[in-house]
Structure 1
């Protein structure tokens, strides 16, 4: 197996992902049927119930072996992930229940860009951004990875108008704005497009549930297909927000 060179964007077939431990059985079956090993998250008691297992609230994959983990869960993840030879970096910001003190690791990293409310980003992630000359796009929205579906190094999908407005200032980034809602998130009103998606190969974008049930399916399909990728539905039910599919390792072949 091989580590991803960059966060969220695999160059080959994905072999390992990190995902919410409450993953529905049908979706888990579909992933395992693709020979993908599922690394299930730990629950963070400081977060409210709907998102307490969401990986994008707890972990930020910087690429390669490096994972920044909230200190609340550092020891648990160190025990779980050591066998995979990850470099587990202990974050400086403890996750707390209330916004904005629960967003420190919810950063959208893709290609040469990082999108977040950088007032609250963990300093380890900030250091990585600076060291790698990544362009910061500052937004008011703190749940950036939740709200952003990463299609490739210069293409994203979001329902957040604030993110869309800021990203539109960058001519080199393509951004599709879709309707809010039509995504389950346990006891919350609705979930978000970033939380239901993730790349499983260089040309496969997967969704947790049936993307055809989303009212903007045709727009999403056209946008993704134009970028040389196909859409994979990992279930037959309504989309469910599990805090992103986070690909972390690929096959060597």
Structure 2
């Protein structure tokens, strides 16, 4: 049996369904499927620039349970793939487009009752849904808030963004600040730690690539251990920013 993950990004058991960038390499796909995880792949969104054109965390935001706020201009195939899994899709107000900040409207990092986001650039519908749920909003300058944040627990993150790091500490969120770079992002200079990670079980965070390839890989693993989390490398080599691996369902026993 399966159930919807109630707290976005933070499953309580073994993950059964994830959304991934449609360009994930064969090793990533094989390893996820070997763990019994179903994959919904994104399709290219033509209005976005190439590097992020498939990134899940650009296209939608999981509110928890069966509720998702989704950009109104995502392709039909992806929309119906989520709907077929039983999700209640709430259309955002604004379309995602290639020019910043029109591509970060749904890029919100959610930790249980807290959301890290740039309020000015967040889609109005998504903002209203967060407020209705009494989610505490931590306003940051970084528009790519979810891309920049690896969620470790309900009150812990990893980021290379100093502004997010400072705001997190001010709001009693444990935070590890790492060096920017050392993560591939197609034709761009580098990607972000949030975009190469995501939970695959309650105590395991998956990495696109090898965490050991990062110069602060040891510090990252030690930080995960501090919060009783393990890591799982999904492929060999350098870390790759495919956009957050987003868990949506988990196995359950009734």
**Which band: TM-score by shorter chain?**
over 0.9
Distance 1:76 1:93 in 2: 19
What is the aligned partner in structure 2 of residue 146 from structure 1? 147
Q: Contact 1:65–1:85 (CA<8 Å) still a contact in 2?
A: yes
What is the aligned partner in structure 2 of residue 28 from structure 1? 29
Q: Contact 2:43–2:75 (CA<8 Å) still a contact in 1?
A: no
What is the aligned partner in structure 2 of residue 156 from structure 1? 157
CA deviations 1:33-88 (Å, max 9, x no partner) are 10100100121111101110000111111110011111111634332222211111
1:80-229 correspondence to structure 2 within 5 Å: 80-171=81-172, 173-229=173-229
Q: Contact 1:19–1:55 (CA<8 Å) still a contact in 2?
A: yes
What is the aligned partner in structure 1 of residue 235 from structure 2? 235
| SS of residue in 2 equivalent to 1:18 | strand
Q: Contact 2:185–2:191 (CA<8 Å) still a contact in 1?
A: yes
CA deviations 1:190-216 (Å, max 9, x no partner) are 010000000111110110111111111
What is the aligned partner in structure 2 of residue 48 from structure 1? 49
Q: CA deviation at 1:126?
A: 1.1
**Residue ranges of structure 2 left out of the alignment (5+ in a row):** none
CA RMSD of aligned residues (A): 1.0
| SS of residue in 1 equivalent to 2:119 | coil
Distance 1:112 1:87 in 2: 20
Distance 2:73 2:83 in 1: 17
Structure 1 residue 72 corresponds to structure 2 residue 76: no
Q: Contact 2:45–2:75 (CA<8 Å) still a contact in 1?
A: no
Q: How many residues were matched structurally?
A: 252
**Residue ranges of structure 1 left out of the alignment (5+ in a row):** none
CA deviations 1:129-182 (Å, max 9, x no partner) are 2112111100110001100000011000000011111112122x1010001011
Q: Contact 1:116–1:141 (CA<8 Å) still a contact in 2?
A: yes
| SS of residue in 1 equivalent to 2:95 | coil
Q: CA deviation at 1:124?
A: 2.2
| SS of residue in 2 equivalent to 1:119 | helix
Q: Contact 2:200–2:206 (CA<8 Å) still a contact in 1?
A: yes
Distance 1:27 1:165 in 2: 33
| SS of residue in 2 equivalent to 1:73 | coil
What is the aligned partner in structure 1 of residue 15 from structure 2? 14
Distance 1:132 1:74 in 2: 28
